[in-house]
């Protein structure tokens, strides 16, 4: 019977995955204004080992107490840099050797499973109301979208971020097969 891992087992499991994960992953957040969304994004960044985070546009402030409600203490684990413009954020990501892949329902975008997400990749997500700016879409090396089959316009930005970051990590982890099963609970 499967049972939930204890916190110490989860820490050990996380450590195993951390040791075997080599690809660098980054995120560019453009004008995500809702603190709860940013907090959720920060927690996902900490979960998947995002190395670098750029905030641009009028993105919420990571130090806003409302961000902490969903970041749950993980915000401090992700170093972030705020840039004056999207162009500056793109240049900074490139300067650190990342390919930038914008995540957006946009013309010319490729579905997520076919996107060039190999390391070192910086994913980029856009605003809750108007999505990624034209500057971000035209400045990115590639654009990818998450296919949807329901009658919905789009995903919540924090959820879209989590799906895309998980897929980027999955590409590397898939090579391990099932050799890193979770430990048997006691």
Ligand X SMILES: C[S@@+](CC[C@H](N)C(=O)[O-])C[C@H]1O[C@@H](n2cnc3c(N)ncnc32)[C@H](O)[C@@H]1O
How would DSSP label each residue in 64-84?
Answer: SHHHHHHHTT-GGGS-EEE-S
> In angstroms, what is the minimal distance from the CB of 65 to ligand X?
23
103 counts as binding ligand X under rule CB under 6 A: yes
- List the beta bridge partners of residue 142: 101
Nearer to ligand X, 5 or 159 (CB): 159
Report the residue from 65, 134, 153, 177 that binds ligand X according to the rule CB under 6 A: 153
Select the residue interacting with ligand X from 128, 141, 167, 172 (CB under 6 A). 128
Between 67 and 124, CB nearer to ligand X:
124
- Pick the piece of the chain touching ligand X (CB under 6 A) from 76-84, 86-94, 146-154, 178-186: 146-154
CB atoms under 10 Å from CB of 132, counted, come to 24
Torsion sign, CA atoms 61, 64, 68, 74? positive
Between CA 30 and CA 127 the distance in angstroms is 6
131 binds ligand X (CB under 6 A): yes
Helix 35-47 vs helix 157-173: crossing angle, to nearest 10: 10
State the DSSP H helix or E strand holding residue 158, giving kind and residue range, or none if neither. helix 157-173
The answer to the question of residue 53 lying near ligand X (CB under 6 A) is no
The residue from 18, 19, 130, 151 that contacts ligand X (CB under 6 A) is 130
Q: Counting contacts by CB under 6 A, is residue 126 touching ligand X?
A: yes
Binding region for ligand X (CB under 6 A) out of 21-29, 87-95, 124-132, 174-182: 124-132
Closest CA to 115 of 171, 157, 162: 171
Stretch that binds ligand X, among 43-51, 70-78, 147-155, 165-173 (CB under 6 A): 147-155
Among positions 50, 101, 125, 168, the unique one binding ligand X when judged by CB under 6 A = 125
CA distances, 160 to each of 40, 112, 166 (Å): 11, 11, 10
Tokens of 142: 């590639």
145 belongs to the binding site for ligand X (CB under 6 A): yes
Which residues form the interface with ligand X (CB under 6 A)? 103-105, 125-126, 128, 130-132, 145-146, 148, 153-155, 157, 160
């Amino acid at each position: 019977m499967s049972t939930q891992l204890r916190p110490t087992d989860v820490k050990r499991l996380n450590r195993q995955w951390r040791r075997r994960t080599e690809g660098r992953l980054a995120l560019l957040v453009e004008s995500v204004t809702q603190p709860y969304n940013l907090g959720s994004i920060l927690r996902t960044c900490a979960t998947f080992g995002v190395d670098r985070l750029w905030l641009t546009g009028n993105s919420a402030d990571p130090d806003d107490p409302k961000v902490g409600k969903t970041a749950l203490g993980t915000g401090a684990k992700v170093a972030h840099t705020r840039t004056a413009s999207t162009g500056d954020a793109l240049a900074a990501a490139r300067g650190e050797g990342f390919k930038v892949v914008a995540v957006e329902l946009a013309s010319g975008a490729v579905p997520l499973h076919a996107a060039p997400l190999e390391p070192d990749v910086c994913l980029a997500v856009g605003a809750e109301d108007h999505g990624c700016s034209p500057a971000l879409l035209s400045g990115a090396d590639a654009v990818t979208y998450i296919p949807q089959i329901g009658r919905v316009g789009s995903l919540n930005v924090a959820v879209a971020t989590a799906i895309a970051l998980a897929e980027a990590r999955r590409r590397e982890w898939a090579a391990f097969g099932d050799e890193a099963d979770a430990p048997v609970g006691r």
